Amino acid sequence: MSMSMIGRLAVCLSMVAMLSACVTRPGPEVLDVPKISTRVTGTRQVTVYVATMRARPDPDRNVFTNETADKLNYAAFTISIPPVHRPGEIEWPKEGTPDPAASFVTIQQKVLDPASFHKAISLAQTGSRSQVGVFVHGFNTSFQEALFRLAQINADSDDGSRTPILFSWPSEASVTGYLADKDAATASRDGLSQLLDDLGRNPAVRKVTLIGHSMGGWLSAEALRQLRLSQKSAIFTKLTVFLAAPDIDVQVFRSQLAVIGSLSPPMTVLVSKDDRALAVSRLLAGQRRRIGALDVSDPRVKQAADLGKLEIIDISALSTKDQFNHNRFAQVSALAPILAPVEADSSGVKRSPGTFVLDTLSATLTSPLLLLPKAGQPGP
């Protein structure tokens, strides 16, 4: 490793350490089913199915490590959502016995094999429920954090038509594990490709929404590229893709899109200029721009969106408690119908690929050109 690389790494780690100081994180004990009654008035239940490249040391227990497995492992968890839940938030259990009236609680879990996993997904596609949502988490994320995040997203946005599936790759869940996480994500491409191909060939599944966050956005794009190269195209006729704060180099993303091609509906990319985590990633990468931090008011970004058949949406206006400004996508859940890449939005105005800004006051998307100062006026 060169001295310049070592210097950048040292600066990045110190920045991350300062930002993450005093942050407590949930341990794997939140996955345990408590020996108490979880029947509380006003709670909701979300069952999340899991396909993971994390190793499972004991085939009869849902205990996963940060080692990479030789093949996909499967599971299902049912999470109770408290009546006091606030959209975009995860009410983590406090130490001791969890309280379903106040926090997320794991109330059931099952070990699944490939056959029982796919049978469960097929059986879940009944009535109005005929689609699945696959969530791919990002860097520095533990299994339990990813699992509860998907439960929160589903609770906030689901209309009862979507079966949530977590694809978890073996992140170190450490602020110093960026390079190790990139290797683990790379080693997980085959697993995600397999999951998407299986869903694409499942006749019971009509639609698949893929959400890739941060480094999971890079992994999602890599899996789609791999499926195109291997001519496994079944998934693409069912697919809607959201990349949230994707940690992808601009040039790398361009090469990925060249293979993936245009999608229908178009791929949606959620960006924030003030994303501190992506600022650290850019510094570590020698100031190479990250897709998730693009400026939608830049005409070159608008041109790239048009050429790549993308919807690039700036969600910087969303409030967040995240010090990194990197998890705004969690607040987007309730606004999913507004952001959905459809031919017309709720006002009946047709949308085509391009750049947009989320206006949280009016709950609409607007052109970034409307935010630019007029001639003779000061900028924002």
In a domain, 247, yes or no: yes
Decide if pLDDT at 10 tops 60.
Answer: no
Domain of residue 324, residue span: 3-371
In a domain, 380, yes or no: no
**pLDDT score recorded for residue 326:** 87
In a domain, 185, yes or no: yes
Longest dimension (CA), the chain: 69
Coil vs helix vs strand at 210: strand
Specify the DSSP class assigned to residue 342: -
Decide if pLDDT at 370 tops 50.
Answer: no
In a domain, 223, yes or no: yes
**pLDDT score recorded for residue 350:** 54
80/20: higher pLDDT: 80
**pLDDT score recorded for residue 376:** 38
User: What does the CA dihedral 187, 134, 281, 173 come to, rounded to 10 degrees?
Assistant: -70
What amino acid occupies position 136?
V
Structural domains of the chain, count: 1
Decide if pLDDT at 334 tops 80.
Answer: no
In a domain, 305, yes or no: yes
Query: C-alpha angle 142/223/143, rounded to 5°?
Result: 10
Query: Is 341 in contact with 268 (CB distance < 8 Å)?
Result: yes
For tokens 């988490």, the residue is: 137
Decide if pLDDT at 206 tops 60.
Answer: yes
Q: How confident is the model at residue 267 (pLDDT cuts 50, 70, 90)?
A: very high
Mean pLDDT of 105-125: 97
Q: How confident is the model at residue 351 (pLDDT cuts 50, 70, 90)?
A: low
Q: How confident is the model at residue 282 (pLDDT cuts 50, 70, 90)?
A: confident
pLDDT in tens, 143-156: 999 999 999 999 98
In a domain, 378, yes or no: no
In a domain, 376, yes or no: no
Mean pLDDT of 83-104: 92
In a domain, 377, yes or no: no
